[in-house]
Structure 1
Amino acid sequence: MRAISLILGILAALGLLLGMIPFFGWLNWIFVLPPAVLGVIFGALSRDRSATTLSAVVAGVALVRLMLGGGVI
């Protein structure tokens, strides 16, 4: 579970880098938030703080980016 959570967190972080580019904020809905949420769930099931924290931070940054871009009101 820990490895799955870390892999999902890293993939979500890579997607977040693309989602930070202007006009690509919609990628956060498809390629960042679902894997980050799954990473938080798997990290909580494995009771691993680092994997859970990575996914939670990535999800938080993606949500802030969406709020600034008008994707979440």
Structure 2
Amino acid sequence: MLNVLSVLIGLFAFLLMIPAFLPLLGIANWLLVPIALFGALIGILSTRNSGRNLCLIVAAIGAFRLFLGGGIF
């Protein structure tokens, strides 16, 4: 059950992260990366790894986007 919740949180963060790749919307990643990390925390409590891995990938992509944009763009 926790794995399903983690996957849903990861998909939610990923779907909201798609518009954050547009210029001047990258600041939304400051909200989405912690959401994905929260999903990874829930995924750690699960016996399966797929939800945790999805959330960690989404968080890494968001953090990389923040790095490229200098934390603002």
TM exceeding 0.5 = yes
Superposed displacement of residue 47, structure 1: 2.7
Listed as ranges, the gaps of 5+ residues in structure 1 are none
Deviation beyond 4 Å, 4+ runs, structure 1: none
* Aligned length in residues: 71
Q: For 2:19 and 2:47, how far apart are their aligned partners in 1?
A: 29
- Give TM-score, length-normalised by structure 2: 0.90
Which residue of structure 2 aligns with residue 4 of structure 1?
A: 5
2:3–2:49 contact (8 Å) kept in structure 1:
no
Q: For 2:47 and 2:19, how far apart are their aligned partners in 1?
A: 29
Listed as ranges, the gaps of 5+ residues in structure 2 are none
Q: What's the % identity of the aligned pairs?
A: 34
- Give TM-score, length-normalised by structure 1: 0.90
Which residue of structure 2 aligns with residue 44 of structure 1?
A: 44
Q: Deviations over 1:7-42 (max 9, x none)?
A: 100001011101101100011112x11210111001
